[in-house]
Structures are given as structure tokens and as C-alpha cells.
Chains A and B, each alone.
Chain A
Amino acid sequence: MKNPFFSSLAEFARGRDERRFSIEEVTRYFLSRTEALNPSLNVCLSINQNAVNRARQIDARLVRNKADSPFTGYPVMIKDNLEMEGYPTTCASRILSGYVSRRTATAVARLLSHGVVVLGKTNLDEFAMGSSTENSAFGPTRNPWNPSRVPGGSSGGSAAAVAAGLAPLSLGSDTGGSIRQPAAFCGVLGVKPTYGRISRSGLVAFSSSLDQIGPFAGSGADALEALVAMAGKDPLDMTTVDRDPAEMRSEYQSTEIGGVRIGIPEALFGEGLDDSIRERLRNLRDSLSGEGAREVSVTLPHSRYGINVYYLVATSEASSNLSRFDGVRYGFRVKNPADLRSMYEETRDQGFGDEVKRRILLGTFALSAGYQDAFYRKARKVQALIRRDFLEAFRQCDMILTPTSPTPPFAFGEKTGDPLSMYLSDVYTITANLAGLPALSVPVGVDSHGLPVGAHLIGPPWSEGRLLRMADRIAGLYPMPLPEVHAGHVDGLSEGGRR
């Protein structure tokens, strides 16, 4: 549902500057909507009790000084694997119970320095491992379009927050599709930037060579401003690249839809794709041709190995990154362990959920003596081929169009018994992470069951501005309403998945 104050960041900034509303009013509106809907949707794991105070402080400052950023006073939610000093960060895991962050993620700090008000921290699959938000230790998030369906994952809470109108902007993280797939499932825009565009400092690491932070927003223009605010070199993350974030704005402004060459990897529109999604994308392709965009046939011969590569590279890195959770320095520890070794082993067994344990075991195996060459090293070499395919394709086209997800939002429990079928949810999104490329999902209407469908655009490195311009054109062709969500809409379901 649209909020009563503004429908874009620019309109928010105008309304604020013309004093049509106060920041406190806006903050209270979103907080009370969250309070009303969170019991049924389970979007937020924690609400910022200091949000109204911060809003008041901003209002007081605005009496004396004009706002220096469109974001001054803008409400946002952040995924609960992003650190904010003085606030809990759970990663939706029991192993981080009681943990309070001692620092603020660079991306969050930069938005805060622009004056945003963080309303709360959103639900996710434990340590961002999953495609449905069902792997949360605090119960699943419900899809605002249909509470019997998953919101996607792992950033399901952040996607659902924007879709349900609990915040106009949220942050997620994307390692294999964790922003784009939930964006498609919840009918909102979600962007994964180029690897190195935004600092990962303060994002709890899952797979460091693939993780990127990105926004969910109501429009490409709003997402663009969020990216510009967060991007740029950060001494705390040596993989960040020293490029001017404003290049995204210039490219957004200079991109003309007429004449854009859209690469179509026809093989990805074939077997395994839901008919109703194929039909929506056919419609989109015709519309874009009508706008003067030109389709170019491209091939990505190694993309079919994306899932294979991902579940070796990402799990290997995860097995190393998650070794820090051992019950010694923070978080959960088992009571009365017999000795040190059993303290580590039992803390981790009880603290981590099944999917996290599965991935740690798989990654440890892929890196273990005797298997490293056949698994991890081979995967890294195929990863290089996947990336090369993309760079060759981008010699002939400006961006590539694929589905975001092979299926519409699925029902709770539908894939939890079969990890591999859950992994295949990311078949279209995973290669952009493996190749380090920017990509987004933009809604293109609903399928025959009234569930949102997303189109996935992948661009060459650093082409976020171009992709966002196209996303806004697509949004113009397929105006996407937000679903009507009412408190009590999903009564009796909210406690179902808690453990």
C-alpha cells in the first residue's frame, strides 16, 4: 500500500522541504504500520526504539538548516546481517543471540550520514543462506502478496518490507540472488551492484568474493540515489574500487531506451521455466522492441554450470568465514561443555541451523586434502569461463535479459525437504555474482495466479546507471501496485514456522 506522504524519494524531499509533514510524523506512520503488520508478516527481527528520537532531532535541525541530502529523514530498513553500532545483529541465527554490534557497516554509516532514519532490521535466511527466508531461526517471513507463499530469500524481510509499505527503501545482501529473487517474488525492484562498488565492511561475511550489498526500492531513480550514497572506495574493504559513484547518475541520465541492444540468451527461456513467467517476459520483449530497443541473440555456454560452481565456491568461503562463530568471543555458548573441543562442536551444532551446517560441511569437504583440486579449484576455473562468456556477450549488447526466477513464489515447505531444488531457484541470478556483474530484478506484472513476476537485467561491470534507467522504463510500461495488506490478514499463520 502506498504511504500517504510521498511516492518517491524526490517527492519526499520536496514535501519535507515545504514542511508538508515532519520527519517524526513520517517515522511514526511507518513504525505503527510495522507494529500492526509485523505479527503476521514477520518482516522485522528488531525495531529501532530510538527511531522517533532520531526523527525529532532531525526535525529540530531542519528548523534551523535546510536538509543537505534528499535522504535527510528518509525511513529505511536494513537486513539483519548488516551491523549498526549499539544494536543487535542476529543474522537470523541462534548462534548470535545476545550479540550487540560494536561498529556500523560502511554502507549503513554512509546512509546515516545522509540523515536516514533506520526503522528496524529485517528477517533473512540464517547467514543469508537460502532462497525463501524459511531458514530463519525466528520463523519465516510471509509474502505480502499471498501469505501462504514465501517472499524469496535470503533478503526476504527487506523485500517484503518495501512491498508491504513498511519502508520505502531497504537494504539487502546478494551472494547468489538474495536481493533479486525476493524482489521478483515480492513485486519490487532489487539491485545487486558490481562487485567492488559498495563496501562489504560490517556485512557479516558469507562468501566474501560474491557478497554485495544493495537496495530494494520503489523505483530505479530511488535505488540509484541510494547506490550513489553508499558506493565508493572504503579503506575497510580492500575490494572496493576507486570509481566516482556519480558515474551511475550520469549513465542513468544519458541512457536512451531506443537503440539499446538487449542480449537474449534464448536457452535460458526454454526448459525449466514456468510458462506463465515465459509469457510475461515475451510480452516485455515485445514492448521493449516497440520502444525501439533491439534484441541480440547471445550465448552463455557455461552459465548452465553456475549452480555447480556456486555451491563449491560459496560453501568453501562460508566454511572459512563461519569458523569465527565458536562460542568464545560473542553470541551463544552451550551450557557446561565437557571440554574445549566439545564446547566448540556442540555450540556450533546447536547454534547453527540445518542449511548452514550443510553448507559448512560441503565447503569443508570441497577444500579438504585430496578433493581440493577436483572440486574447489575446478570450480574457480569454470567461474572464469562463466565470466568470459559474459564479457564476450557484452561486445554485442548493452545488457542481458533473463527471467529472475524459474518459478513464481512457492508455498512454505515446498522445497525445504530437497536442498537441491531450493538451490535451483537461483539458476538465473547466480552467474552475475560469479562474474561480479551488476544486475537487478524489476517487476513486470503478475502471473495467472496474481503473483509477481520479475525480469532480470544483467549489465557489464559498472553499468548500474544504464540498468536502472531501463528498469524505470519497464516500470513505466508495467506499473506495479503494492499489495493491499491488512493486519490480521494472515491470522493463525504467523507462529507456524517458529522454532
Chain B
Amino acid sequence: MNLSKADVLHVARLSALALTEAEADRMTGEISAILNYVEGLSVVDISEPGQDGAALSPTLLATDTPAPSLSTEVALAGAPDHSGSFFRVPRILEEGR
């Protein structure tokens, strides 16, 4: 399966990655090559009923036990930008999307 550059830019938007033009060109070829390889799977017969996936043991859910969480101070300690008890990010209201 060969992706077009437009496909790659669409997936990049879904991935929240701003690719440069050069990156998008290069990735289009590389990802198409990888997809062509992994598509070798299409010949495998999966008609037999079988479990989806391959977990060794079923994953259990944790019991819902209340416990203290990170303090605001600790949660903000590594933030690139914060204000009071908030993470600060660029304005979103004017984005218009």
C-alpha cells in the first residue's frame, strides 16, 4: 500500500506532529515501504476461531481504592510554564477550529 503525501500529512495531523515539507516527503516513501512489507500479513489465514490478541493471563482491573494523588506543587514542578495552580498554555479561544 502506497501512501500519498496528503495521507501522511493527514496522519501527522491526527498524531499532532507538524512535519516539515522535507520530513513529509521522506516519511511518505519510508512509511509506504514499511506498509508494503507488513502487508505480507494479508496472506495469513485467520478464519479459524481464536482469541483476539495474545495475553498470557487476563488483565485484572484494579480495585477502586481512594488514595492521595500528586500535590499541585509536585504536579506543576516540571511544567514548562504555569501560573498559580494551573498549567499555562497559549490562548485557545481564538483558535477557531
Given contacts A209-B53, A328-B79, A358-B27, 9 further A-B contacts (CB under 8 A): A241-B57, A308-B37, A328-B80, A330-B79, A337-B90, A340-B92, A360-B17, A379-B38, A420-B33
Q: How far is the CB of B37 from chain A (nearest CB, A)?
A: 6
Contact across chains for A302 and B44 when beta carbons are under 8 A apart: yes
* B6 interface contact, C-beta 8 A: no
Q: Bound complex: CA of A331 vs CA of B6, how far in Å?
A: 30
- Kindly list chain B residues whose C-beta atoms are within 8 Å of the C-beta of A361: 8, 11-12, 15, 17, 27, 31
Q: Are A360 and B33 in contact (CB-based, < 8 A)? A: no
Cross-chain contact B37 with A420 (CB below 8 angstroms): yes
Interface string of A237-276 (1 = CB under 8 A from B): 0110100000000000000000000000000000000000
**What would be 19 A-B contacts, judged by CB atoms less than 8 Å apart?**
A100-B77, A100-B78, A209-B53, A307-B37, A312-B38, A329-B78, A339-B95, A343-B89, A348-B15, A358-B27, A358-B31, A360-B17, A361-B12, A361-B31, A365-B35, A381-B46, A381-B52, A388-B50, A436-B55
Number of interface residues of A (CB under 8 A): 72
A333 to B89, CA, bound (A): 10
Select one of B46, B77, B80 contacting A385, CB under 8 A.
B46
> Size range of the interface on B?
35 or more
Is the pair A327, B80 in contact by a Cβ cutoff of 8 Å? Answer: yes
Kindly list chain A residues whose C-beta atoms are within 8 Å of the C-beta of B19: 349, 357
Whether A238 pairs with B62 at a CB distance below 8 angstroms is yes
The 6 A-B residue pairs whose C-beta atoms are closest, nearest first, are A345-B18, A330-B78, A333-B80, A387-B54, A381-B46, A436-B56
Which B residues are in CB contact (< 8 Å) with A209? 53, 55
Determine if B85 is an interface residue (Cβ-Cβ < 8 Å): no
Q: Tell whether, in the assembled complex, residue A365 and residue B31 are in contact, meaning their CB atoms are under 8 Å apart.
A: yes
**B residues apposed to A, CB below 8 Å:** 3, 7-8, 11-20, 23, 27, 30-31, 33-35, 37-42, 44, 46, 50-57, 59-62, 70, 74-75, 77-81, 87, 89-92, 94-95, 97
Give residues of chain A (282-341) contacting chain B, Cβ–Cβ below 8 Å: 302, 305, 307-309, 311-312, 319, 323, 326-333, 337-341
Contact B52 A380 (CB under 8 A): yes
* B52-A384 in contact (CB<8A): yes
Given contacts A337-B90, A361-B31, A365-B3, contact A345 B54 (CB under 8 A): no
- Do A333 and B81 form a contact, CB below 8 Å, given A308-B40, A309-B41, A340-B92? yes
In the complex, per-residue mask of A210-250: 1 if CB is within 8 Å of any chain B CB, else 0: 00000000000000000000000001001101000000000
Contact with A305, one of B30, B44, B50, B95 (Cβ below 8 angstroms): B44
Using Cβ atoms and an 8 Å threshold, which residues of chain B touch A354? 23
B31 and A378 form a contact (CB under 8 A)? no
Question: How far is A419 from B31 in the complex, measured between Cα atoms in Å?
Answer: 9
Instruction: Please judge, given known A-B contacts A305-B44, A419-B34, whether A364 and B15 are in contact too, CB under 8 Å.
Output: yes
Min CB distance A63 to B, Å, is: 36
- Across the interface, which residues of B come within 8 angstroms of A386, CB to CB? 54
Nearest residue (CB) in B for A390 is B54
Instruction: Report how far A295 CA is from B36 CA in the complex, Å.
Output: 37
Of the candidates B41, B74, B91, which one forms a contact with A379 in the assembled complex, judged by CB atoms under 8 Å apart?
B41
| Cα distance A435–B53 in the bound complex, in angstroms | 9
Q: Do A340 and B91 form a contact, CB below 8 Å, given A302-B44, A385-B46?
A: yes
Return chain B residues, CB-CB under 8 Å to A385.
44, 46, 50
A332 touches which of B18, B70, B80, B91 (Cβ 8 Å): B80
B20 contact set on A, CB distance < 8 A:
349
Given A329-B75, A382-B46, are A235 and B11 also a contact pair (CB < 8 Å)? Answer: no
- Is A53 among interface residues, defined by CB-CB distance under 8 A? no
Query: B50: shortest Cβ distance to chain A, in Å?
Result: 5
B41 pairs with A305, CB closer than 8 A: yes
Shortest Cβ distance from residue B30 to the other chain A in the assembled complex, whole angstroms = 6
Q: Within the assembled complex, what's the spacing in Å between the Cα atoms of A49 and B95? A: 46
Query: B44, A339: Cβ atoms under 8 Å?
Result: no
Docked-complex contact A383 and B14, CB < 8 angstroms? no
